[in-house]
Chain A
């Protein structure tokens, strides 16, 4: 149980285009999902917290107009990187948490490369 999937697992896009990453909780309902990015050999950096049906809460320094987050259902959250630039290249990881549980379960991550 407690499986979280991400799609795609990797994506290469050209500078200036937009990329959408999906995060799904497969066997539980996630009232809260979190989006992280991770640079090589570093820890996870929280980007935003997303509660189903409401606007995401972004961490300081994260541009909400650039990283659009939609948590439209209890099993799906999406992160759209708009007008991507090479510096947006990173490993993006989501996690999901059910309202009554304390554990966060992570997706397998999405490797984004912007050329």
Chain B
């Protein structure tokens, strides 16, 4: 089946630093999404990407849909303590098909 490789698994950074995480896939996806999950909560959608090569920003977050459609990255600039959480990438083939999730990147921000 389809799998997503997400890295790094965890990160410890100083407040104010920039963060980068990425996902790669063995197969093509038509949509890439990035979610953030806080402990005991459901994932919250951060950014959705629909076109190969697309670069989209949401505040301090920037994500890109790789031109091969097999990868995506998420950058967080000037990290703050509330950025702490688990970030998941997800790929979707089309329409209402299930998401394929990466294993998550656990981000810790040291004030």
Contact = CB atoms under 8 A, between A and B. Distances in A.
Per DSSP, are chain A's interface residues mostly helix, strand or loop, or mixed? strand
Residue of A4, A32, A97, A102 ringed by the most chain B CB atoms within 10 A:
A102
Interface stretch (A13-21, A41-49, A71-79, A82-90): A41-49
B98 A34 contact: yes
A93 B42 contact: yes
B43 A93 contact: yes
Contact of A102 (B35, B92, B98, B104): B92
Interface residues of A, number: 25
A108 interface: yes
Interface of A: 4, 6, 31-32, 34, 42-44, 46, 49, 51, 91, 93, 95, 97, 99, 102-109, 111
